[in-house]
Structure 1
């Protein structure tokens, strides 16, 4: 019997203290179709103070990180438009990271990530774990923040997302404060996003910041693989054999991507991965973008 195969498990691919795990947020308010957390001005200032360059690099050299990717490769050249690393803290003090991408919006302040990066359920005592210190660093590269560090003033997910045990509608939007009066879309660029029906197989470029022995979260990695559509009674997902480790959650799945321009169109984001007992990711899945997520996105500019 293949013990590694038997031990494989599906997990949400955020990274916390080097481990692939899901973290959660306590919502500030809930409407019928979305759940919104509003971040106070004081807490935004605290987030910027918390995430020093040294803290952003805290996982580098950790011996217990997942093994290096074999399919995923470090991105060569400038980080594509709008893509960056998302940092947060799950109280009582566990730092984590994901990936996010700036998308077009009326406010020019919106980024898209995975829902479980800012929401996800409860602890073992059924208490919600609050997410704080949420900042986004577009273009992040080995500790450098070429476009600045943007604090989240709000984040939201669809009310149809039920947390990290589910991959359905595992998407969230972030509203980011401008830095020195400049909006994130103006300084970092954007990637387009689409909600239309696609063929069952799509040539896909996946991007993310895996906290693995190869990357330590410090470098953008990519996979260029076909993504296949799968639908069942529970949810609809896109699936590939990309092996990016935890920290890649929320990273964009891009079709019609042009490496020369760094532009494509998002049709999903990394949600979950199957992992062996050794922490090796064997495949990734991303939720298909549904009508509730489209409504979430269309209202994101109002946050």
Structure 2
């Protein structure tokens, strides 16, 4: 879910917001970033094992699964360095380009309307969870953006199991644009290392997509190609000042502070407004970006924030993700949602994910 910020804390912060300076550039001015990379399903055989878990009968129940609710604090001994010794994970030092690279949005190959937003499904232990996410334009045409807590639990220093992305999901488990199994996660090292909500984002490189089809009385996987080719990809906007107009998207489902449930989790919802800076010290959030008004609840975690959104083509530039939800006025409904600030370090994590290779065929 989007972990809520307690209303008493949020209310106390609201008066301080007026004194916080707007962003004027990169909050991380170093020339390199340390990207934490986690292998999920490396080979086609690994991918097929995940696919077998998510057959149609299980996907039909997907909306009854729990919106992800990892905690915000890592255990004292959980560090990226210790976790990296498994051989599946590694810390990669990424050299930053002299100029911030421009990532332009992309339409699908055979359509004039993008369908980039969807849900991710995964497991921690024996429990199935889900979040919101979106396709991002990339060199490998295979990148999904979501919240860090929708891919990696820093309390356990553990990546999610059986991670898949379903763009444009149907209400009864339909997968009209395919199923895309996660190949690897790219994150800033301070998310898995410290549970720092300034870095609660992840870019997941995915395998080619597939659909389940029936042949000879049996379900078999049918390759449908690369994610971006099928649904398009959002652009990426970094180092933006606050005060911009944002359109946020997601699949909220959880209760509001008064216990009501206005959202069903099956319908893609949007809210729009202007951004300001916010902080949440209890979650190590020092450079948060707040969007108001927005009453998103759990389930919307990881959904995209788009700047310069074009509703006809359904494209814009990714400038954040739903991370925390806020009740600033301490009333009956949530009234804000926040994202980590997308800066050059975010771009480094994205570029790592955009260059990861995956097998050419999944069937």
Whether contact under 8 Å (2:244, 2:307) holds in the other structure is yes
* Gap runs ≥5 in structure 2: 1-5, 12-31, 68-111, 210-222, 255-260, 357-363
CA separation in 1, counterparts of 2:193 and 2:337? 18
Larger radius of gyration: 2
2:191 partner SS: coil
Q: How many aligned positions are there?
A: 260
CA separation in 2, counterparts of 1:99 and 1:141? 14
Higher helix share: 2
With over 3 angstroms needed to count, the CA separation of the structure-2 counterparts of 1:178 and 1:60, relative to structure 1, is: closer
Correspondence 1:102-181 to 2 at 5 A: 102-122=135-155, 127-142=156-171, 143-162=173-192, 165-179=195-209, 180=223
| TM-score under structure 1 length normalisation | 0.75
With over 3 angstroms needed to count, the CA separation of the structure-2 counterparts of 1:60 and 1:295, relative to structure 1, is: closer
CA separation in 1, counterparts of 2:62 and 2:264? 6
Whether contact under 8 Å (2:147, 2:321) holds in the other structure is yes
CA separation in 2, counterparts of 1:217 and 1:244? 11
CA separation in 2, counterparts of 1:182 and 1:209? 25
With over 3 angstroms needed to count, the CA separation of the structure-2 counterparts of 1:278 and 1:218, relative to structure 1, is: farther
With over 3 angstroms needed to count, the CA separation of the structure-2 counterparts of 1:164 and 1:101, relative to structure 1, is: farther
Correspondence 1:27-176 to 2 at 5 A: 33-38=34-39, 39-41=41-43, 42-58=45-61, 60=63, 80-91=114-125, 93-122=126-155, 127-142=156-171, 143-162=173-192, 165-176=195-206
Q: Kindly provide the CA deviation profile for residues 126-182 of structure 1, in whole angstroms up to 9, marking residues without a partner as x.
A: x44441110001112313211101111111201132568531121111111112261
* Gap runs ≥5 in structure 1: 10-30, 66-77
CA separation in 2, counterparts of 1:32 and 1:239? 25
CA separation in 1, counterparts of 2:9 and 2:345? 34
| TM-score under structure 2 length normalisation | 0.63
CA separation in 2, counterparts of 1:81 and 1:60? 19
Work out whether 1:207 is the aligned partner of 2:249: yes
CA separation in 1, counterparts of 2:191 and 2:240? 21
Per the alignment, residue 237 of structure 1 pairs with 288
With over 3 angstroms needed to count, the CA separation of the structure-2 counterparts of 1:281 and 1:94, relative to structure 1, is: farther
With over 3 angstroms needed to count, the CA separation of the structure-2 counterparts of 1:120 and 1:130, relative to structure 1, is: closer
Instruction: Report how far residue 80 of structure 1 moved.
Output: 4.9
Q: What's the Cα RMSD here?
A: 3.3
Work out whether 1:252 is the aligned partner of 2:309: no
Per the alignment, residue 237 of structure 2 pairs with 194
1:133 partner SS: strand
1:108 partner SS: coil
Work out whether 1:218 is the aligned partner of 2:266: yes
1:201 partner SS: coil
Whether contact under 8 Å (1:43, 1:133) holds in the other structure is no
Work out whether 1:283 is the aligned partner of 2:336: yes
Name whichever of 206-215 and 184-193 sits farther off: 206-215
CA separation in 2, counterparts of 1:150 and 1:252? 18
CA separation in 1, counterparts of 2:185 and 2:332? 30
2:244 partner SS: strand
With over 3 angstroms needed to count, the CA separation of the structure-2 counterparts of 1:5 and 1:97, relative to structure 1, is: same
